[in-house]
Amino acid sequence: MGLLTVVSCARQLPTQASAARPRAITAPRLAARALSAEAIVLLAPGIRAKDVASAHGAEVLEGGDSRLAALVATSGDSDDLRVALEADPRVLSVEANQTLSVVEAHQKSWAFDDGLPTLQNTLEQPAATVLGVAGAQAASMGNGVRVAVLDTGVDPTHPLLAGRIVTTADFLDPSNTGAIDLTDGLDNDSSGEADEAWGHGTHVAGIVAVAAPNVELMIGRVLDADGRGDVLGVAAGIRWAVDNGARVINLSLGTTATSHAIEEALEEAEEEGVLVVAAAGNRGTDNPTEYPARSRRAFAVAAADCDSRPTDFTSYGPFVDLVAPGVAIRSSYPGNRYRLWTGTSMAAPWASGTAALLLSVHPQWTPTQVQARLSASASPLREPKPSQHGKLGAGMLDVGAALRPDLVAGSDDDDQPVLRTPR
């Protein structure tokens, strides 16, 4: 596949470019498993998964947490196991496990190098300029706010991320301390590409850091290098982020089916005052819609180019809350490199980073208040397709406008503005 050299923040959807990838062998929990045969159970408080499994002739697989587990029948039919579990009063919900993936997987949009891979070009890229990031950072740098990026992991030594990561967890391979963005050199999902999503989490986390330089990053690895994860890992990752102090969770992943376990985790996040930002998806239509973006408990972000024109590839619909730049976004990439990537996965972290800026100034704000500021300060979109009208939320994210009230002394907001300086 030839190298693409598109460098502008335009509407096209670049495809994968070749890149030398250091090999790091991992044994992800997803390997050689039939997810549909697994029963994901949410247990009542104080109930042990192994006790429930023993009563139903099942075994507990690795992963999950104290209330969330994957059970598989040791004999008999998986459907029969789920029926029996549904009748067990100790089990609050049960569902077949399923795959979630990076939202770029459907269009095979992968990272590419335009020959200008520098930190300076990353910080001064067209998207950051159009959004007014520098002006917003005069009011806030994101100090004291934890943002959880649940994705493929990260390269923790990358200059854009080093020193910003406060805690990590790997929900696919617990032996991978540091939630490292790993490859195995294999085409595990039979897509015709090996490790095609490698670097996705590093890239997404870098965008958050560009928007909010002093943010505290929490890294949860819930997707493998092919961009695949499952309900167990994503739900457990959300619960982990909430339990460890996240104020914002970025989910640049999705599936077309809903999940009881993930929805329960989203509800817990909502109750604890955690804003969950989700990529709207790259399906180029309003049907099917991506989950968890379409959950009412998530803040869904669609993609536009740097001229505020909605892209042809972005998903849209009544579930979308906001639009942000998602074309040829430059960010961190494993091996201390910088790459461009296109998709709503890249749009979502601009909103996550902006939310961190706001929460640093207004630590008592609820997710609803953050969403209200983001929506109220949004700018109009240009030339949406007729089918997109009324289905792209409040419009284009404007980071500078979102923070502008906090540059004015005597603001009538809930809190007085608190100016932040870099570490």
Query: Do the Cβ atoms of 315 and 281 come closer than 8 Å?
Result: yes
| Structure tokens given for 396 | 């284009």
Q: Between vectors from CA 395 to CA 392 and to CA 396, what angle results, nearest 5°?
A: 120
Residue (of 60, 40, 61, 38) closest to 50 by Cα position: 60
Is 362 assigned a catalytic role? no
Catalytic residue (one of 151, 189, 305, 398): 151
Instruction: Give DSSP secondary structure letters for 149-166.
Output: EEES-B-TTSTTTTTTEE
Is 230 assigned a catalytic role? no
φ/ψ of 374, rounded to 5, equals -60, -40
Beta strands (DSSP E) in 327-378 are: 329-333, 337-341
Residue 79 parent element (H or E): helix 78-86
Catalytic residue (one of 106, 200, 203, 362): 200
CA 177 to chain centre: 20
φ/ψ of 46, rounded to 5, equals 85, -5
Query: Given CA atoms 169, 107, 284, 127 in this order, what sign does their dihedral have?
Result: positive
* % helix, strand, coil for the chain, step of 5: 25, 20, 55
Is 101 assigned a catalytic role? no
Catalytic residue (one of 101, 109, 331, 345): 345
| Structure tokens given for 55 | 């009563």
Which residue type sits at 169? Answer: A
Active-site residues: which are they?
Answer: 151, 200, 345
